[in-house]
Copies of this chain bind each other. A is one copy, B any other.
Protein backbone atom coordinates (compact mmCIF):
# COMPACT_ATOMS: atom_id res chain seq x y z
CA UNK A 1 0.00 0.00 0.00
CA UNK A 2 1.19 3.54 -0.75
CA UNK A 3 2.55 5.16 2.39
CA UNK A 4 3.12 8.89 2.53
CA UNK A 5 3.41 11.36 5.35
CA UNK A 6 0.85 14.09 4.80
CA UNK A 7 0.83 17.16 6.99
CA UNK A 8 -2.53 18.70 7.99
CA UNK A 9 -1.00 22.07 8.80
CA UNK A 10 1.09 22.31 5.68
CA UNK A 11 0.54 25.29 3.40
CA UNK A 12 -0.35 22.86 0.65
CA UNK A 13 -3.75 21.18 1.00
CA UNK A 14 -3.72 17.46 1.74
CA UNK A 15 -4.97 16.44 -1.68
CA UNK A 16 -2.17 18.35 -3.37
CA UNK A 17 0.42 16.69 -1.11
CA UNK A 18 -1.00 13.30 -2.02
CA UNK A 19 -1.14 14.19 -5.71
CA UNK A 20 2.50 15.36 -5.66
CA UNK A 21 3.67 12.25 -3.83
CA UNK A 22 1.94 9.83 -6.21
CA UNK A 23 3.02 11.78 -9.27
CA UNK A 24 6.64 11.65 -8.06
CA UNK A 25 6.37 7.87 -7.63
CA UNK A 26 5.00 7.52 -11.15
CA UNK A 27 7.75 9.68 -12.60
CA UNK A 28 10.54 7.91 -10.69
CA UNK A 29 9.20 4.47 -11.58
CA UNK A 30 8.19 3.36 -8.04
CA UNK A 31 4.72 2.98 -9.51
CA UNK A 32 4.83 1.04 -12.79
CA UNK A 33 2.63 1.54 -15.85
CA UNK A 34 -0.46 -0.65 -15.60
CA UNK A 35 -0.20 -0.96 -11.81
CA UNK A 36 -3.51 -0.60 -9.97
CA UNK A 37 -3.72 2.15 -7.35
CA UNK A 38 -5.27 1.24 -3.98
CA UNK A 39 -9.03 1.76 -3.76
CA UNK A 40 -10.07 5.07 -2.27
CA UNK A 41 -11.64 3.36 0.71
CA UNK A 42 -8.57 1.30 1.60
CA UNK A 43 -6.25 4.26 1.11
CA UNK A 44 -8.53 6.30 3.34
CA UNK A 45 -8.14 3.82 6.18
CA UNK A 46 -4.45 3.38 5.52
CA UNK A 47 -3.53 7.08 5.51
CA UNK A 48 -6.27 8.33 7.81
CA UNK A 49 -7.49 10.99 5.39
CA UNK A 50 -10.91 11.56 3.86
CA UNK A 51 -12.22 9.96 0.67
CA UNK A 52 -12.74 13.39 -0.83
CA UNK A 53 -9.05 14.21 -0.45
CA UNK A 54 -8.14 11.01 -2.25
CA UNK A 55 -10.76 11.62 -4.91
CA UNK A 56 -9.40 15.08 -5.56
CA UNK A 57 -5.83 13.75 -5.85
CA UNK A 58 -6.83 10.87 -8.14
CA UNK A 59 -9.00 13.18 -10.25
CA UNK A 60 -6.11 15.59 -10.69
CA UNK A 61 -3.75 12.76 -11.65
CA UNK A 62 -6.33 11.42 -14.09
CA UNK A 63 -6.94 14.90 -15.49
CA UNK A 64 -3.26 15.21 -16.23
CA UNK A 65 -3.04 11.75 -17.75
CA UNK A 66 -0.84 10.11 -15.08
CA UNK A 67 -3.50 7.58 -14.18
CA UNK A 68 -6.60 6.34 -15.93
CA UNK A 69 -9.90 5.27 -14.42
CA UNK A 70 -11.60 2.07 -15.39
CA UNK A 71 -15.19 2.42 -14.12
CA UNK A 72 -16.12 0.01 -11.34
CA UNK A 73 -12.57 -1.43 -11.28
CA UNK A 74 -10.24 1.28 -10.22
CA UNK A 75 -7.38 3.54 -11.24
CA UNK A 76 -4.31 2.38 -13.16
CA UNK A 77 -0.96 4.02 -13.71
CA UNK A 78 -0.62 5.22 -17.28
CA UNK A 79 2.43 4.64 -19.41
CA UNK A 80 3.34 8.27 -19.74
CA UNK A 81 6.21 7.62 -22.14
CA UNK A 82 3.88 6.23 -24.80
CA UNK A 83 0.13 5.76 -24.64
CA UNK A 84 -0.80 2.46 -23.03
CA UNK A 85 -1.91 -0.26 -25.35
CA UNK A 86 -3.87 -2.35 -22.91
CA UNK A 87 -6.91 -3.14 -25.04
CA UNK A 88 -9.28 -3.33 -22.07
CA UNK A 89 -8.64 0.21 -20.93
CA UNK A 90 -10.20 3.04 -22.86
CA UNK A 91 -7.63 5.79 -23.01
CA UNK A 92 -8.71 9.30 -22.25
CA UNK A 93 -8.55 11.62 -25.21
CA UNK A 94 -5.40 13.68 -24.83
CA UNK A 95 -6.47 17.28 -24.71
CA UNK A 96 -4.36 20.25 -25.72
CA UNK A 97 -3.64 21.41 -22.20
CA UNK A 98 -2.65 17.92 -21.10
CA UNK A 99 0.02 17.72 -23.73
CA UNK A 100 1.90 20.32 -21.69
CA UNK A 101 2.25 17.87 -18.81
CA UNK A 102 5.27 16.05 -20.23
CA UNK A 103 8.08 15.65 -17.69
CA UNK A 104 10.24 17.98 -19.79
CA UNK A 105 7.68 20.82 -19.82
CA UNK A 106 9.06 23.88 -18.02
CA UNK A 107 7.65 24.58 -14.59
CA UNK A 108 5.81 27.90 -14.63
CA UNK A 109 6.02 29.85 -11.37
CA UNK A 110 4.64 33.16 -12.65
CA UNK A 111 1.75 33.14 -15.09
CA UNK A 112 1.02 36.61 -16.46
CA UNK A 113 -1.48 35.20 -18.95
CA UNK A 114 -3.95 34.10 -16.26
CA UNK A 115 -6.71 36.56 -15.48
CA UNK A 116 -8.10 34.44 -12.67
CA UNK A 117 -9.05 36.18 -9.46
CA UNK A 118 -6.55 35.64 -6.65
CA UNK A 119 -8.18 32.71 -4.84
CA UNK A 120 -6.57 33.72 -1.55
CA UNK A 121 -8.70 36.85 -1.59
CA UNK A 122 -11.97 34.98 -1.79
CA UNK A 123 -13.76 35.28 1.57
CA UNK A 124 -14.45 31.60 1.70
CA UNK A 125 -15.56 31.44 5.31
CA UNK A 126 -18.13 34.22 4.89
CA UNK A 127 -19.43 32.67 1.68
CA UNK A 128 -19.66 29.24 3.32
CA UNK A 129 -21.43 30.72 6.35
CA UNK A 130 -24.01 32.47 4.16
CA UNK A 131 -24.52 29.34 2.09
CA UNK A 132 -25.06 27.29 5.27
CA UNK A 133 -27.47 29.87 6.67
CA UNK A 134 -29.47 29.91 3.46
CA UNK A 135 -29.64 26.14 3.39
CA UNK A 136 -31.13 26.06 6.87
CA UNK A 137 -33.31 29.15 6.71
CA UNK A 138 -34.87 28.97 3.30
CA UNK A 139 -34.98 25.37 2.08
CA UNK A 140 -38.21 26.00 0.16
CA UNK A 141 -36.77 28.94 -1.70
CA UNK A 142 -33.90 26.74 -2.79
CA UNK A 143 -36.16 24.19 -4.40
CA UNK A 144 -38.64 26.48 -6.06
CA UNK A 145 -37.93 27.21 -9.66
CA UNK A 146 -36.57 30.72 -10.03
CA UNK A 147 -37.53 33.09 -12.80
CA UNK A 148 -35.55 32.53 -15.98
CA UNK A 149 -33.80 35.87 -15.56
CA UNK A 150 -32.72 35.04 -11.99
CA UNK A 151 -34.24 35.39 -8.52
CA UNK A 152 -35.62 38.80 -7.72
CA UNK A 153 -33.58 39.42 -4.58
CA UNK A 154 -30.31 38.90 -6.46
CA UNK A 155 -31.36 41.22 -9.27
CA UNK A 156 -32.45 43.81 -6.70
CA UNK A 157 -29.12 43.46 -4.86
CA UNK A 158 -27.21 43.98 -8.10
CA UNK A 159 -29.31 47.04 -8.93
CA UNK A 160 -28.55 48.41 -5.46
CA UNK A 161 -24.83 47.74 -5.87
CA UNK A 162 -24.68 49.43 -9.27
CA UNK A 163 -26.55 52.43 -7.93
CA UNK A 164 -24.02 52.94 -5.15
CA UNK A 165 -20.93 51.84 -6.98
CA UNK A 166 -21.38 53.02 -10.54
CA UNK A 167 -24.11 55.62 -10.12
CA UNK A 168 -26.39 53.60 -12.36
CA UNK A 169 -30.16 53.65 -12.11
CA UNK A 170 -31.28 50.19 -13.12
CA UNK A 171 -34.51 48.29 -12.62
CA UNK A 172 -34.10 44.66 -11.48
CA UNK A 173 -36.46 43.76 -14.31
CA UNK A 174 -33.88 44.68 -16.92
CA UNK A 175 -31.24 42.41 -15.38
CA UNK A 176 -30.65 38.90 -16.73
CA UNK A 177 -28.54 36.54 -14.61
CA UNK A 178 -26.58 33.75 -16.29
CA UNK A 179 -23.82 31.22 -15.67
CA UNK A 180 -20.93 33.28 -17.01
CA UNK A 181 -20.48 35.95 -19.64
CA UNK A 182 -19.77 33.39 -22.34
CA UNK A 183 -23.26 32.01 -21.84
CA UNK A 184 -24.79 35.49 -21.90
CA UNK A 185 -23.07 36.29 -25.23
CA UNK A 186 -24.90 33.28 -26.66
CA UNK A 187 -28.24 34.57 -25.35
CA UNK A 188 -27.54 38.03 -26.74
CA UNK A 189 -26.92 36.66 -30.22
CA UNK A 190 -30.24 34.81 -30.01
CA UNK A 191 -31.92 38.06 -28.98
CA UNK A 192 -30.23 40.41 -31.46
CA UNK A 193 -30.06 37.99 -34.38
CA UNK A 194 -27.61 35.72 -36.16
CA UNK A 195 -27.92 37.77 -39.33
CA UNK A 196 -26.44 40.90 -37.76
CA UNK A 197 -22.83 42.02 -38.07
CA UNK A 198 -20.97 42.10 -34.75
CA UNK A 199 -17.85 44.20 -34.45
CA UNK A 200 -15.08 43.57 -31.93
CA UNK A 201 -12.00 45.55 -30.97
CA UNK A 202 -8.67 44.83 -32.69
CA UNK A 203 -6.58 44.04 -30.69
CA UNK A 204 -9.10 42.42 -28.38
CA UNK A 205 -10.01 39.43 -26.29
CA UNK A 206 -10.11 36.73 -28.94
CA UNK A 207 -12.61 34.50 -27.14
CA UNK A 208 -15.38 37.00 -27.84
CA UNK A 209 -14.87 36.73 -31.58
CA UNK A 210 -14.68 32.96 -31.26
CA UNK A 211 -18.04 32.84 -29.49
CA UNK A 212 -19.73 35.07 -32.06
CA UNK A 213 -18.38 32.93 -34.88
CA UNK A 214 -19.27 29.64 -33.18
CA UNK A 215 -22.79 30.95 -32.76
CA UNK A 216 -23.07 31.55 -36.47
CA UNK A 217 -22.88 35.36 -36.43
CA UNK A 218 -20.58 37.41 -38.66
CA UNK A 219 -17.81 39.12 -36.80
CA UNK A 220 -15.74 42.05 -38.11
CA UNK A 221 -12.87 43.98 -36.52
CA UNK A 222 -12.35 47.67 -35.94
CA UNK A 223 -8.92 49.06 -35.11
CA UNK A 224 -8.10 51.23 -32.12
CA UNK A 225 -6.47 54.63 -31.81
CA UNK A 226 -5.34 56.05 -28.47
CA UNK A 227 -8.98 56.77 -27.50
CA UNK A 228 -10.28 53.29 -28.25
CA UNK A 229 -12.24 51.78 -31.10
CA UNK A 230 -12.56 54.03 -34.18
CA UNK A 231 -16.23 54.87 -34.89
CA UNK A 232 -15.84 55.57 -38.62
CA UNK A 233 -14.76 51.95 -39.15
CA UNK A 234 -18.07 50.73 -37.78
CA UNK A 235 -20.02 52.32 -40.60
CA UNK A 236 -17.45 51.24 -43.18
CA UNK A 237 -17.74 47.63 -42.09
CA UNK A 238 -21.55 47.86 -41.88
CA UNK A 239 -21.52 46.77 -38.23
CA UNK A 240 -24.86 46.55 -36.40
CA UNK A 241 -23.53 45.79 -32.95
CA UNK A 242 -20.22 46.77 -31.40
CA UNK A 243 -18.71 44.99 -28.41
CA UNK A 244 -16.38 47.15 -26.30
CA UNK A 245 -14.76 47.49 -22.87
CA UNK A 246 -14.58 51.27 -22.48
CA UNK A 247 -13.51 51.25 -18.82
CA UNK A 248 -10.39 49.21 -19.42
CA UNK A 249 -9.83 47.70 -22.81
CA UNK A 250 -8.11 44.35 -23.08
CA UNK A 251 -5.24 44.20 -23.99
CA UNK A 252 -4.36 47.85 -24.64
CA UNK A 253 -5.59 49.12 -21.26
CA UNK A 254 -7.20 52.18 -22.88
CA UNK A 255 -9.98 53.98 -20.99
CA UNK A 256 -12.27 55.53 -23.55
CA UNK A 257 -12.65 59.31 -23.04
CA UNK A 258 -16.08 60.92 -22.87
CA UNK A 259 -15.91 62.46 -26.35
CA UNK A 260 -15.33 59.07 -28.00
CA UNK A 261 -18.16 57.60 -25.94
CA UNK A 262 -20.54 60.21 -27.34
CA UNK A 263 -19.26 59.55 -30.86
CA UNK A 264 -20.09 55.88 -30.42
CA UNK A 265 -23.52 56.65 -29.02
CA UNK A 266 -24.06 58.90 -32.04
CA UNK A 267 -23.18 56.02 -34.33
CA UNK A 268 -25.64 53.76 -32.49
CA UNK A 269 -28.49 56.27 -32.80
CA UNK A 270 -27.95 56.76 -36.54
CA UNK A 271 -29.83 53.62 -37.55
CA UNK A 272 -32.45 51.26 -36.17
CA UNK A 273 -31.25 48.13 -34.41
CA UNK A 274 -27.72 49.30 -33.64
CA UNK A 275 -26.45 48.42 -30.19
CA UNK A 276 -23.34 48.86 -28.07
CA UNK A 277 -22.41 45.96 -25.79
CA UNK A 278 -20.50 47.48 -22.89
CA UNK A 279 -18.41 44.85 -21.18
CA UNK A 280 -17.49 46.40 -17.82
CA UNK A 281 -15.58 43.29 -16.71
CA UNK A 282 -13.03 44.82 -14.36
CA UNK A 283 -14.43 48.23 -13.53
CA UNK A 284 -14.40 47.32 -9.83
CA UNK A 285 -10.63 47.39 -9.91
CA UNK A 286 -9.98 50.91 -11.00
CA UNK A 287 -6.89 51.65 -8.96
CA UNK A 288 -6.50 55.38 -9.39
CA UNK A 289 -7.54 58.35 -11.53
CA UNK A 290 -11.08 59.48 -12.12
CA UNK A 291 -13.82 56.94 -12.76
CA UNK A 292 -15.91 57.52 -15.84
CA UNK A 293 -19.57 56.59 -15.67
CA UNK A 294 -20.58 53.73 -17.94
CA UNK A 295 -22.05 54.32 -21.40
CA UNK A 296 -25.19 52.63 -20.14
CA UNK A 297 -27.32 55.53 -18.97
CA UNK A 298 -25.49 58.17 -21.05
CA UNK A 299 -27.84 57.50 -23.94
CA UNK A 300 -31.17 57.68 -22.14
CA UNK A 301 -31.05 53.93 -21.92
CA UNK A 302 -32.03 52.49 -25.26
CA UNK A 303 -28.88 51.53 -27.19
CA UNK A 304 -26.44 50.16 -24.64
CA UNK A 305 -26.38 46.64 -23.22
CA UNK A 306 -24.32 46.49 -20.04
CA UNK A 307 -22.51 43.29 -18.96
CA UNK A 308 -20.51 42.37 -15.92
CA UNK A 309 -19.41 39.29 -14.03
CA UNK A 310 -18.68 38.09 -10.51
CA UNK A 311 -16.17 35.60 -11.88
CA UNK A 312 -13.39 38.19 -11.76
CA UNK A 313 -14.43 39.91 -8.55
CA UNK A 314 -15.17 36.81 -6.49
CA UNK A 315 -13.82 33.57 -7.82
CA UNK A 316 -13.63 31.92 -11.20
CA UNK A 317 -15.64 28.90 -10.10
CA UNK A 318 -18.60 30.98 -8.99
CA UNK A 319 -20.04 31.44 -12.42
CA UNK A 320 -22.46 34.29 -12.09
CA UNK A 321 -22.62 37.09 -14.63
CA UNK A 322 -25.37 39.47 -15.62
CA UNK A 323 -26.45 41.75 -18.39
CA UNK A 324 -28.71 44.77 -18.29
CA UNK A 325 -30.94 45.28 -21.28
CA UNK A 326 -32.57 48.50 -22.47
CA UNK A 327 -36.36 48.44 -21.91
CA UNK A 328 -37.37 47.34 -25.40
CA UNK A 329 -34.85 44.51 -25.50
CA UNK A 330 -35.79 43.45 -21.95
CA UNK A 331 -39.41 43.24 -22.97
CA UNK A 332 -38.53 41.20 -26.04
CA UNK A 333 -36.22 39.02 -23.95
CA UNK A 334 -38.97 38.13 -21.50
CA UNK A 335 -41.33 37.37 -24.36
CA UNK A 336 -39.05 35.38 -26.64
CA UNK A 337 -36.30 33.97 -24.41
CA UNK A 338 -38.01 34.11 -21.03
CA UNK A 339 -38.76 30.37 -21.29
CA UNK A 340 -35.07 29.55 -20.71
CA UNK A 341 -34.41 28.35 -17.19
CA UNK A 342 -31.84 30.34 -15.25
CA UNK A 343 -28.48 28.57 -15.53
CA UNK A 344 -27.31 29.57 -12.02
CA UNK A 345 -28.46 27.31 -9.16
CA UNK A 346 -30.69 28.89 -6.51
CA UNK A 347 -28.10 28.08 -3.82
CA UNK A 348 -25.57 30.41 -5.43
CA UNK A 349 -28.15 33.05 -6.33
CA UNK A 350 -29.44 33.38 -2.77
CA UNK A 351 -25.92 33.30 -1.34
CA UNK A 352 -24.71 36.05 -3.65
CA UNK A 353 -27.83 38.13 -2.96
CA UNK A 354 -27.09 37.98 0.77
CA UNK A 355 -23.38 38.57 0.16
CA UNK A 356 -24.12 41.79 -1.70
CA UNK A 357 -27.04 43.11 0.30
CA UNK A 358 -25.34 42.53 3.65
CA UNK A 359 -22.33 44.58 2.58
CA UNK A 360 -19.77 41.78 2.18
CA UNK A 361 -19.28 42.38 -1.51
CA UNK A 362 -18.32 46.00 -1.06
CA UNK A 363 -15.87 45.09 1.71
CA UNK A 364 -14.43 42.35 -0.45
CA UNK A 365 -13.94 44.71 -3.39
CA UNK A 366 -12.18 47.26 -1.21
CA UNK A 367 -9.91 44.68 0.34
CA UNK A 368 -9.14 43.15 -3.06
CA UNK A 369 -8.44 46.52 -4.62
CA UNK A 370 -5.92 47.27 -1.90
CA UNK A 371 -4.19 43.97 -2.32
CA UNK A 372 -4.08 44.21 -6.10
CA UNK A 373 -2.78 47.76 -5.85
CA UNK A 374 0.09 46.56 -3.63
CA UNK A 375 0.90 43.72 -5.98
CA UNK A 376 0.89 46.05 -8.96
CA UNK A 377 3.11 48.58 -7.23
CA UNK A 378 5.55 45.95 -6.08
CA UNK A 379 5.85 44.73 -9.65
CA UNK A 380 6.18 48.15 -11.24
CA UNK A 381 8.59 49.43 -8.59
CA UNK A 382 10.58 46.22 -8.86
CA UNK A 383 11.03 46.74 -12.58
CA UNK A 384 11.71 50.47 -12.29
CA UNK A 385 14.34 50.14 -9.58
CA UNK A 386 16.22 47.30 -11.28
CA UNK A 387 18.77 47.56 -14.11
CA UNK A 388 16.01 46.29 -16.40
CA UNK A 389 14.35 49.71 -16.23
CA UNK A 390 16.51 51.10 -19.04
CA UNK A 391 15.01 48.51 -21.39
CA UNK A 392 11.33 48.76 -20.59
CA UNK A 393 8.57 51.31 -20.77
CA UNK A 394 5.57 50.74 -18.55
CA UNK A 395 2.11 51.82 -19.62
CA UNK A 396 0.42 52.00 -16.25
CA UNK A 397 -3.11 53.28 -16.87
CA UNK A 398 -5.10 53.68 -13.70
CA UNK A 399 -7.30 50.76 -14.04
CA UNK A 400 -7.87 47.08 -13.96
CA UNK A 401 -5.86 43.98 -13.37
CA UNK A 402 -3.28 44.19 -16.12
CA UNK A 403 -0.79 46.69 -17.52
CA UNK A 404 1.42 46.77 -20.60
CA UNK A 405 5.20 46.78 -20.73
CA UNK A 406 7.11 47.61 -23.86
CA UNK A 407 10.51 45.94 -24.06
CA UNK A 408 13.51 47.05 -26.13
CA UNK A 409 14.67 43.79 -27.64
CA UNK A 410 16.02 42.26 -30.82
CA UNK A 411 13.96 39.14 -30.21
CA UNK A 412 10.64 38.54 -31.94
CA UNK A 413 7.60 38.49 -29.66
CA UNK A 414 7.12 34.73 -29.84
CA UNK A 415 10.82 34.10 -29.42
CA UNK A 416 10.92 36.23 -26.28
CA UNK A 417 7.86 34.52 -24.78
CA UNK A 418 9.26 31.05 -25.47
CA UNK A 419 12.58 31.97 -23.90
CA UNK A 420 10.88 33.45 -20.81
CA UNK A 421 8.73 30.35 -20.47
CA UNK A 422 11.95 28.35 -20.11
CA UNK A 423 12.69 30.54 -17.08
CA UNK A 424 9.27 29.77 -15.64
CA UNK A 425 7.55 33.02 -16.63
CA UNK A 426 4.55 32.87 -18.92
CA UNK A 427 3.66 36.09 -20.69
CA UNK A 428 1.65 37.02 -23.80
CA UNK A 429 2.49 39.68 -26.38
CA UNK A 430 -0.19 42.22 -27.33
CA UNK A 431 0.41 41.18 -30.94
CA UNK A 432 -1.13 37.78 -30.15
CA UNK A 433 -4.47 39.57 -29.79
CA UNK A 434 -4.17 41.53 -33.05
CA UNK A 435 -5.92 40.51 -36.22
CA UNK A 436 -4.39 43.29 -38.31
CA UNK A 437 -1.55 45.68 -37.71
CA UNK A 438 0.48 43.41 -35.44
CA UNK A 439 3.58 45.57 -36.03
CA UNK A 440 2.09 48.53 -34.25
CA UNK A 441 2.07 46.64 -30.97
CA UNK A 442 5.38 44.84 -31.46
CA UNK A 443 7.40 44.22 -28.28
CA UNK A 444 4.45 45.09 -26.02
CA UNK A 445 3.54 42.51 -23.43
CA UNK A 446 0.53 42.02 -21.17
CA UNK A 447 1.13 41.80 -17.43
CA UNK A 448 -2.04 40.28 -15.94
CA UNK A 449 -0.99 40.15 -12.31
CA UNK A 450 -4.14 39.13 -10.45
CA UNK A 451 -3.02 35.53 -10.05
CA UNK A 452 0.67 36.24 -9.19
CA UNK A 453 1.82 35.50 -5.63
CA UNK A 454 3.29 38.69 -4.08
CA UNK A 455 6.10 36.74 -2.41
CA UNK A 456 7.34 35.65 -5.84
CA UNK A 457 7.72 39.18 -7.17
CA UNK A 458 11.42 39.59 -6.16
CA UNK A 459 12.24 36.32 -7.94
CA UNK A 460 10.29 37.41 -11.01
CA UNK A 461 12.23 40.68 -11.18
CA UNK A 462 15.50 38.81 -10.71
CA UNK A 463 14.73 36.34 -13.50
CA UNK A 464 13.60 39.11 -15.83
CA UNK A 465 16.86 41.00 -15.21
CA UNK A 466 18.99 37.89 -15.68
CA UNK A 467 17.22 37.15 -18.90
CA UNK A 468 17.15 40.61 -20.46
CA UNK A 469 20.57 41.95 -19.55
Contacts and interface: CB of A to CB of B under 8 A. Distances in A.
Interface string A341-369: 11111111010011001100000000000
Contact of A137 (B50, B93, B207, B347): B50
B172 A143 contact: no
A59 B152 contact: yes
Interface in A308-352: 311, 315-319, 327, 330-331, 334-348, 350
A132 B134 contact: no
A459 to B, nearest CB: 23
Nearest to A128: B135
Nearest to A210: B339
A173 B97 CA distance: 13
Given A171-B92, A319-B345, A131 B135 contact: yes
Given A15-B138, A71-B159, A156-B69, A144 B317 contact: yes
A10 interface: no
Interface stretch (A101-109, A177-185, A239-247, A376-384): A177-185
A160 B72 contact: yes
A406 interface: no
A166 interface: no
Interface in A25-83: 50-53, 55-56, 58-60, 62-63, 69, 71-72
A51 B354 CA distance: 9
A345 B316 contact: no
B183 A59 contact: no
A458 interface: no
A227 interface: no
A266 interface: no
Nearest to A129: B135
A62 B152 contact: yes
Count of chain copies:
2
Contacts of A116: 145
Contact of A138 (B52, B135, B207, B319): B52
A146 interface: yes
A334 B102 CA distance: 19
A138 B69 CA distance: 21
Contacts of A56: 138, 141, 153
Contacts of A316: 143, 145, 341
Nearest to A338: B95
A114 to B, nearest CB: 9
A357 B71 CA distance: 11
Contacts of A327: 93
Given A156-B62, A194-B216, A317 B93 contact: no
Interface string A145-164: 11100011100100110011
Given A69-B172, A340-B182, A153 B214 contact: no
Contacts of A71: 156, 159-160, 163, 169-170, 172
Contacts of A340: 182
Nearest to A353: B55
Interface in A235-279: none
A348 B143 CA distance: 14
A412 interface: no
Contacts of A334: 93, 95-96
Nearest to A193: B216
A142 interface: yes
B171 A141 contact: no
A349 B385 CA distance: 46
A293 interface: no
Contact of A146 (B53, B171, B317): B317
A119 B311 CA distance: 30
Contact of A144 (B119, B156, B344, B357): B119
10 contacts: A58-B153, A60-B152, A69-B159, A71-B160, A93-B327, A143-B316, A145-B316, A316-B341, A319-B342, A347-B348
